[in-house]
């Protein structure tokens, strides 16, 4: 069941899917352009693990140049970047180590997840980017000089028939990531016939990967990488 259970005013609108047992880990998942956290909260409910709390925040509504300045929810906004960092800090202050937090997202949300992880000092369990790219890629690797995630596993999934963000962009992002963090910790997985969306195979794979990434505090990142592959 989804609900809003965050006490910090800045985060009060984020949709959460609580764990069914004692929560020892958190997944923060960011939606794409024009969407809200509700759709992905439903997806997280369908794949949830009992010890994980899933947080799906709503991006602010801003004018989007790509869509003729129409106002809609967009993750590519500095205020939302600050909100995501605040959510991570909030969870750490409430007893969840950053090494037990996975940051992920779809499309714009995936892009912001990559950027946030690479510029954050908080060491995360892993990063999941679905149908996405690395924003401000020319500022890297310099922008990641203080990152706590140079050994953090990053998983990218991309539909081979994606008309919005061509799979080639995902492949180029994966190659760029290998110049920023340990190359063996970058996994790029494609799905034949899949467009700009997720499917059942994707969801099943995500469930497995989230379980494995949360082992990273107990096993080497390279071992997690081998299990994912």
Residue 147 · residue 118 · CB < 8 Å: yes
Does residue 92 form part of some domain?
yes
Q: Pick the residue with more confidence: 108 or 66?
A: 108
Task: State pLDDT tens for residues 110-135.
Answer: 999 999 999 999 999 999 999 999 98
Tell me the range of 58-62, 66-70, 90-94 where mean pLDDT is highest: 90-94
User: At 200, which CATH number?
Assistant: 3.40.50.1820
**98 included as an active-site residue:** no
Q: Does 107 qualify as catalytic in the annotation?
A: yes
Q: Please count the structural domains in the chain.
A: 1
Question: Taking 50 as the threshold, does the pLDDT of residue 13 lie above it?
Answer: yes
Q: How confident is the model at residue 66 (pLDDT cuts 50, 70, 90)?
A: low
Q: How confident is the model at residue 54 (pLDDT cuts 50, 70, 90)?
A: very high
What was the pLDDT predicted at 214? 76
Question: Which long-range CB contacts under 8 A does 109-112 form with residues at least 24 apart?
Answer: 109/29, 109/30, 109/31, 109/32, 109/40, 109/59, 109/75, 110/30, 110/32, 110/156, 111/75, 111/76, 111/135, 112/30, 112/75, 112/76, 112/80, 112/81, 112/84
In a domain, 2, yes or no: no
Mean pLDDT calculated for residue range 158-170: 94
Query: Is 132 within the bounds of a domain?
Result: yes
Residues of the domain holding 84: 9-228
Residue 3 lies in a domain: no
DSSP string of 129-170, one letter each residue = EES---TTGGGTTGGGTT-S-TTS-EEEEEETT-SSS-HHHH
Q: Which of 162, 198, 216, 221 is catalytic?
A: 162
When pLDDT is cut at 50, 70 and 90, the band that residue 80 belongs to is confident
Is pLDDT above 60 for 220? no
Q: What is the pLDDT of residue 39?
A: 82
Highest mean pLDDT: which range of 42-51, 65-74, 102-111: 102-111
Q: Residue 219: inside a domain, yes or no?
A: yes
Which pLDDT score, from 0 to 100, does residue 226 have?
Answer: 41
Q: Is pLDDT above 70 for 143?
A: yes
Angle (nearest 5°) at CA 72 between 70 and 76: 105
Asked if the structure places residue 202 within a domain, the reply is yes
The reply to whether 119 falls in a domain is yes
218 counts as catalytic: no
**Residue 4 belongs to a domain:** no
* Cα–Cα distance for residue pair 154/183, rounded to 1 Å: 10
């Amino acid at each position: 069941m989804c609900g809003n259970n965050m006490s910090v005013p800045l985060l009060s609108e984020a949709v959460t899917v609580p764990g069914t047992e004692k929560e020892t880990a958190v997944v923060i998942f960011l939606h794409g352009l024009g969407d809200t956290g509700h759709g992905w909260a439903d997806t997280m409910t369908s794949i949830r693990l009992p010890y994980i709390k899933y947080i799906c925040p709503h991006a602010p509504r801003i004018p989007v140049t790509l869509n003729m300045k129409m106002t809609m929810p967009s993750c590519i906004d500095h205020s939302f970047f600050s909100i995501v960092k605040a959510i991570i800090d909030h969870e750490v202050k409430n007893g969840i180590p950053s090494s037990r937090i996975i940051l992920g997202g779809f499309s714009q949300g995936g892009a912001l997840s990559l950027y946030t992880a690479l510029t954050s000092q908080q060491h995360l369990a892993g990063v999941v980017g679905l149908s996405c790219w690395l924003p401000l890629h020319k500022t890297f690797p310099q922008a990641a000089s203080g990152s706590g995630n140079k050994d953090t596993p990053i998983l990218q999934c991309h539909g081979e028939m994606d008309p919005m963000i061509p799979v080639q962009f995902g492949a180029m992002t994966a190659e760029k990531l290998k110049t920023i963090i340990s190359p063996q910790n970058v996994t790029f997985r494609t799905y034949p016939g899949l467009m700009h969306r997720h499917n059942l195979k994707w969801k099943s794979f995500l469930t497995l990967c989230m379980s494995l990434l949360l082992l990273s505090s107990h096993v080497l990142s390279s071992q997690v990488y081998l299990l994912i592959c």
